[in-house]
């Protein structure tokens, strides 16, 4: 227990013991309250919608979620102890550069990040005084300033870790909202209890009333300093706004940050940075929206800085999806998507839009009434030019199917990372899990759901596979287990269009690998990765294990041996094609079919392509691919 500053200097309490004690207290609280959360979700699922398979899957996968949560928390404490404070990647939301970017998936990710920021900000404010005490105590303990993003038990950590743990599931944003609402009720609302417990048990409270008042005064002063920085922010926005040549959202953001740096070397809080990135992403979506004409995109780009300013001045903008400022932007985007420049030959709508946006930029108003009024004004503009707007065509089914595949791939990547996080996966097994088995799980998620028997059977294969690597099994048990795993393995490969000969060969190789592994590791002590065992050991495992955490070996596809017979020109045509690449195949009748590279036969070098349902479309040799690309019959997307 921390007594005073002198005791720290005398090393009567080591940092290790403090962190270990706090971790155990915090993890006990998390496990207890996460069980309440799971019970609440089950009750919601039973009460509201028996057919909601996604909510039902939370109960099915709760051990995966819980073990992922606890493991991440443990890793955060270990990082803190080593002086590493970047617990989470700042680029949680990263839009892809391909032509499928900026679709509904990215929009949902942005909305989820906004929701996370809202919860973090809300509970940092609610626990302001307590968090301040933690910051003060830790600053003394570690002899350096510790801000809120470096607190191992902060709302930032609690919310961000939860977000990471539920990425193991394939959930719509609507269902994620249900989870976050329950999470807020069962955990975030109870944060003060664990904070008080930790403060009372691990910090000796010798503060007088005067000391407490001084702390609160310091907090208020700090808040005022932040308010003072808003003047610098508004000034920077005004300067950049006059640069009409800036159209690209990233360039606008960077110009703003550069100007802000010139103004008194002003820095932003983490939440301000997140809000700035989210606003930039919103306007990136507009710039990449193929339904909006370029002149309108350039006009709308002028709104970016205004919305950055609104986000700084009114935190509710990004927290509330029904905020009039967001509703106004949505109205403008929806109308602009329907505008037809062929019908509006004189560009009357574009002229009205430019004038309208100028009034928003120049008028110094940010009230709810201001935006509600502007919504009505804009609707009147659209009504006056109704003949220039055409209804949108329904979304292409292939786009919808591709969106489902992208979401499923993200889910499976997170699941595989979780399953192998604390295990040094042999390269051979990693190749199996990261290629054919990943493709299979993606296929099953798209066809069924993450609560279906088909999907769960193939998920259990992963656990059974790792369990087989546990040494000291009897020969009979080992052979029975191998037979079961190989049978599931063969069943899975059939579902993703493997040929019978290949299936038998792969199953034989898997059996041979497991037997050799046992032969070579019978005297080594390994740990099973089954979820029930992982969950139990979290309460007793030593927190500060000095050995480095093994890293999962990433798959590197080497196709050079299949290209040896090609000339240099053909090699350059085929080389960009790797696992996951989408191609367009033109048939003799002129029909275009899209397919994705799913597998390269290690013996023949033939490339297997499947559609968005995981069904085989065709297979080609490297030379056939080169010929098709050269003749324009095959196009790499």
Distance, CA of 418 to CA of 416 (rounded, Å): 5
Q: Are 316 and 324 in contact (CB under 8 A)?
A: no
pLDDT at 105: 54
pTM above 0.75, yes or no: no
Name the token pair of 317. Answer: 């903008």
Locate all alpha helices (DSSP H) within 242-262, ordered by sequence.
249-262
- Could you please report the per-residue DSSP string of 382-413? HHHTGGGB-PPPPPPHHHHHHHHHHHHHHHHH
* Residue whose C-alpha is closest to residue 18's, from 34, 30, 7: 7
Rounded to the nearest angstrom, the gap between the alpha carbon of residue 103 and the centroid of all alpha carbons in its chain is: 15
The tokens describing 388, both together, are: 């220039």
- Taking Cα atoms as reference points, which of 272, 269, 190, 262 lies closest to residue 232? 262
- 372 SS3 class: helix
Q: How far apart are CA 87 and CA 80, in angstroms?
A: 8
Does the CA dihedral 164-165-170-172 come out positive or negative? negative
Residues 6+ positions from 481 with CB-CB distance below 8 Å: 464, 467, 468, 473
Secondary structure of the chain: what % helix, strand, coil (to 5)?
65, 5, 30
Q: How many C-beta neighbours within 10 Å does residue 200 have?
A: 10
Number of Cβ within a 10 Å radius of residue 339 = 21
Helix (H) or strand (E) holding 583: strand 582-586
Query: How far is residue 339's CA from residue 387's CA, in Å, rounded to a whole number?
Result: 9
Rounded to 10 deg, the angle between the 270-287 and 303-313 helix axes is: 150
Question: What pLDDT, on the 0 to 100 scale, is given for residue 191?
Answer: 92
Low-confidence stretches of the chain (pLDDT beneath 70): 1-18, 48-51, 89-106, 141-149, 202-230, 263-267, 270, 315-316, 318-319, 364-365, 392-401, 422, 471-474, 521-561, 613-614
Kindly state the helix (H) or strand (E) to which residue 40 belongs, with its residue range. helix 15-48
CA-CA distances (angstroms) from residue 278 to 16, 149, 318, 325?
A: 37, 19, 8, 15
The pLDDT value recorded for residue 33 is 93
Q: Helices 128-142 & 209-241, crossing angle to 10 degrees?
A: 100
Residues 573-606 as b/e (b if ≥16 CB within 10 A, e otherwise) read bbeebebeebbebeeeeeeeebbbbbbbeeeebb
Secondary structure class of 599 (helix, strand, coil): strand
Strand partners, 597: 609
148 close to 13: Cβ distance less than 8 angstroms: no
Q: Which DSSP category does 167 fall into?
A: G
Give the tokens for residue 164: 């990471």
Q: Which is nearest to 164 in space by CA: 111, 104, 112?
A: 112
DSSP of 257-295, one letter per residue? HHHHHHTTT----HHHHHHHHHHHHHHHHHHT-TTS-HH
Q: What angle do CA 117, 121, 123 make, to 5 degrees?
A: 120
Is there a contact between 404 and 510 (Cβ–Cβ < 8 Å)?
A: no
CB neighbour class for 228 (10 Å; exposed up to 12, middle 13-18, buried from 19): exposed
pLDDT, residue 442, reads 87
Q: What is the per-residue pLDDT for 267?
A: 65
DSSP for 468-535 reads TT-S---HHHHHHHHHHHHHHHHHHHHHTT--HHHHHHHHHHHHHHHHHHHHHHTTS------HHHHH
Instruction: Write down the pLDDT at residue 435.
Output: 87
């Amino acid at each position: 227990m921390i007594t005073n500053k002198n005791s720290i200097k005398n090393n009567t309490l080591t940092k290790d013991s403090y962190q270990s004690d706090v971790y155990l207290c915090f993890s006990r609280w998390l496990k207890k309250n996460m069980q309440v959360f799971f019970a609440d979700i089950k009750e919601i699922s039973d009460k509201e919608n028996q057919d909601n398979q996604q909510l039902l899957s939370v109960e099915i996968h709760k051990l995966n979620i819980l073990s992922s949560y606890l493991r991440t928390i443990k890793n955060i404490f270990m990082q803190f102890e080593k002086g590493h404070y970047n617990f989470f990647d700042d680029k949680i939301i990263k839009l892809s550069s391909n032509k499928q970017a900026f679709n509904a998936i990215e929009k949902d990710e942005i909305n989820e990040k906004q929701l996370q920021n809202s919860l973090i900000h809300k509970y940092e404010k609610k626990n302001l005084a307590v968090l301040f005490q933690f910051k003060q105590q830790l600053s003394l303990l570690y002899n350096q300033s510790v801000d809120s993003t470096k607190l191992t038990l902060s709302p930032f950590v609690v919310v961000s870790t939860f977000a990471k743990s539920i990425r193991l599931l394939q959930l719509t944003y609507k269902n994620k909202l249900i989870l976050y609402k329950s999470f807020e009720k069962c955990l975030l609302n109870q944060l003060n209890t664990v904070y008080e417990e930790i403060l009372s048990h691990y910090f000796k409270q010798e503060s007088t009333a005067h000391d407490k008042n001084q702390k609160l005064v310091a907090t208020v002063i700090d808040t005022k300093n932040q308010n003072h920085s808003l003047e610098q922010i508004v000034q920077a926005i005004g300067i950049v706004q006059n640069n009409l040549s800036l159209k690209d959202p990233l360039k606008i953001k960077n110009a703003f940050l550069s100007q802000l740096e010139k103004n008194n070397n002003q820095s932003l809080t983490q939440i301000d940075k997140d809000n700035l990135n989210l606003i930039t992403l919103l306007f990136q979506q507009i710039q990449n929206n193929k339904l909006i004409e370029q002149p309108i995109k350039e006009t709308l780009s002028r709104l970016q800085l205004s919305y950055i300013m609104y986000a700084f001045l009114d935190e509710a903008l990004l927290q509330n999806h029904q905020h009039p400022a967001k509703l106004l932007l949505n109205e403008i985007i929806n109308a602009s998507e329907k505008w037809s420049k062929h019908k509006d030959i004189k560009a009357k709508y574009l002229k009205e839009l430019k004038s309208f946006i100028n009034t928003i930029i120049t008028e110094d108003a940010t009230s709810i009434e201001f935006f509600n009024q502007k919504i009505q004004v804009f609707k009147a503009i659209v009504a006056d030019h109704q003949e220039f707007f055409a209804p949108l065509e329904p979304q292409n089914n292939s786009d919808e199917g591709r969106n489902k595949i992208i979401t499923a791939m993200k889910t499976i990547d997170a699941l595989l990372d979780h399953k192998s996080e604390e295990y040094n996966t042999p390269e051979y097994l990693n190749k199996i899990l990261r290629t054919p088995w990943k493709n299979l799980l993606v296929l099953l998620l798209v066809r069924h759901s993450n609560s279906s028997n088909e999907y769960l059977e193939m998920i259990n294969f992963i656990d059974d596979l790792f369990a087989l690597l546990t040494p000291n099994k009897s020969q009979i048990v080992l052979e029975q287990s191998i037979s079961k795993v190989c049978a599931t393995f063969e069943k899975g490969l059939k579902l993703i269009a493997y040929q019978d000969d290949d299936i038998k060969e792969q199953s034989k190789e898997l059996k041979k690998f497991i037997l050799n592994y046992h032969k070579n590791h019978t005297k080594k002590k390994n740990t099973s990765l089954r979820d029930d065992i992982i969950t139990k050991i979290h309460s007793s495992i030593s927190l500060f294990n000095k050995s480095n955490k093994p890293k999962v070996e990433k798959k590197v596809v080497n196709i050079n041996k299949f290209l040896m017979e090609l000339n240099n020109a053909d090699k350059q045509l085929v080389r960009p094609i790797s696992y996951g690449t989408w191609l367009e195949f033109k048939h003799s009748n002129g029909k275009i079919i899209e397919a994705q590279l799913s597998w390269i036969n290690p013996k023949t070098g033939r490339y297997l392509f499947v559609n968005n349902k995981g069904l085989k479309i065709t297979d080609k040799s490297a030379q056939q691919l080169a010929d098709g690309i050269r003749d324009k019959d095959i196009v790499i997307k």
